[in-house]
Structure 1
């Protein structure tokens, strides 16, 4: 037994284990980085091509195999082009050190602070009927829409959000997009929904909020310029004129990581609201 253990606990075995662990960890972080983005769908397409190539090899389909081989030969260039937003996002994470450092408690504190600062801004603007449109990225990347805005890359504060939406200022028209607990851009353009189910009394901000919720899982907060009412959209659901208590419950349920248990008591509450007809 001692001989067996000594033969296993060699430097070569240790380095191999370290090698496997590092590769596993890097792949895991890459999967977590791409989770929920458009890149996942593209990656599935790559897997389909690989499966077709295996089938062509097994069935001796030479023409199909030749075509697939050409596709694979150019795949490196194609992947760089197709996954450019995700590659840039990953490099940004590495530059900030977040790719190698993951502190759940610290992340949760940032999420709690983000909700608190958004609440401060919403309360101020709602009382004064200052129109606002704030979109918070979740799993689906918003790079296409971030590129339309003016870059800020700033810490989230209520004062900054309020100042951004003050009427007749350069950044007030458009959406503020929050990504990774930071204000990424202001004055961004969101897709307008063409749904006929949206009430006619709602304006462009609300249509933009519904539009982004139709194509991503982002949470969007709207402050009405006409009434001061607070509206939230998420996953093609529209919740109009929420009280402060209700929108805080929703934001905490959607944006703040659970402290201990993975479940969140507010999720079921709002899912039931949606089912009862919160979708307008």
Structure 2
């Protein structure tokens, strides 16, 4: 083997090594995205900056303190996040640490669409006002924290019960995160657009407001008319029939998910299953 061949192989190995490390870091960021672990990582980053600054300006006492915090902090992290680490190791053992299978994700999204469509159809027929926002890429934790956290599995029965009038959670928005009902009675930002019809109430303004600052899909059921509306990307789609609403929701949550899976399929460990 020539020296040139050896150099090419070494360059190829280094490139693969860098890409794998990048991919692992990216997936870890996706795992902690939208969780309390993000705040912990921010705290660690601040401590590291303080440590670097103390070394640069020869602040020995402060530097020693930061060194002890980093030394014992990682042990504390292992203890605090023991359940999450155990769950991650279990997923690694099943070969699903880095990604869910395409079939699993599709089944979850189908269940989400069916649950929302069934609940919305029920509430629309009975003129039960509702506001449901589905998180996508943009995190909605800031808005989740304004409500009552539930962390419950999605079901049409749960959604209907939440919005029954005169119950503790009916006033406000339900936010769905990772196919679970994350919280209810949440406050969403109201749109300040001057082009909104004055006949639209607070629910529609809140739905438009959240669609202007996130990529979420938000569904509104009017308490006065029982009409179904949907907002996305700052657009309001009003007076949808039940079938048209379900088709639009499926297109946003199922079709778009399949496109995303197809584009990232080459990066998955197990690949996309047929069917």
Normalised TM-score (structure 1): 0.64
Q: Which among 236, 239, 242 is matched to residue 240 of structure 2? A: 242
1:34 to 1:129, Cα distance in 2 relative to 1, 3 A:
same
Distance 2:258 2:160 in 1: 33
- Offset from partner CA, 1:65-98 (integer Å, 9 cap, x none): x9xx89xxx9x9xxxxxxxxxxxxxx79867547
Q: Which among 177, 180, 183 is matched to residue 182 of structure 1? A: 180
Which residue in the other structure is 2:113 paired with?
115
**1:137 and 2:135 equivalent?**
yes
The answer to whether the 8 A contact 1:108-1:257 is kept is: no
Which residue in the other structure is 1:231 paired with?
229
Distance 2:261 2:251 in 1: 9
Which residue in the other structure is 1:170 paired with?
168
The answer to whether the 8 A contact 1:232-1:240 is kept is: yes
The equivalences for 1:50-89 within 5 A come to none
Q: Note the C-alpha offset of 1:186.
A: 0.5
The answer to whether the 8 A contact 2:102-2:261 is kept is: no
Instruction: Give the gaps of 5 or more residues in structure 1.
Output: 40-65, 77-90, 265-280
Distance 1:96 1:158 in 2: 28
Instruction: Give the gaps of 5 or more residues in structure 2.
Output: 39-52, 58-62, 67-80, 92-96, 263-275
1:173 to 1:229, Cα distance in 2 relative to 1, 3 A:
same
1:32 to 1:123, Cα distance in 2 relative to 1, 3 A:
same
Q: Which among 196, 205, 209 is matched to residue 207 of structure 2? A: 209
Distance 1:119 1:207 in 2: 21
The answer to whether the 8 A contact 1:177-1:183 is kept is: yes
Distance 1:169 1:182 in 2: 20
Greater RCO, 1 or 2 (C-alpha within 8 Å, sep 6+): 2
Q: Note the C-alpha offset of 1:260.
A: 6.3
Work out the number of aligned pairs and report it. 214
Distance 2:166 2:118 in 1: 21
1:263 to 1:28, Cα distance in 2 relative to 1, 3 A:
closer
Describe the SS at the equivalent of 1:163: helix
Normalised TM-score (structure 2): 0.65
- Offset from partner CA, 1:28-49 (integer Å, 9 cap, x none): 314656899xx9xxxxxxxxxx
Which residue in the other structure is 1:197 paired with?
195
1:175 to 1:95, Cα distance in 2 relative to 1, 3 A:
farther
Which residue in the other structure is 1:218 paired with?
216
- Offset from partner CA, 1:194-241 (integer Å, 9 cap, x none): 222111111111111011011111100000000000000111000111
Distance 1:17 1:262 in 2: 25
The equivalences for 1:257-276 within 5 A come to 257=255
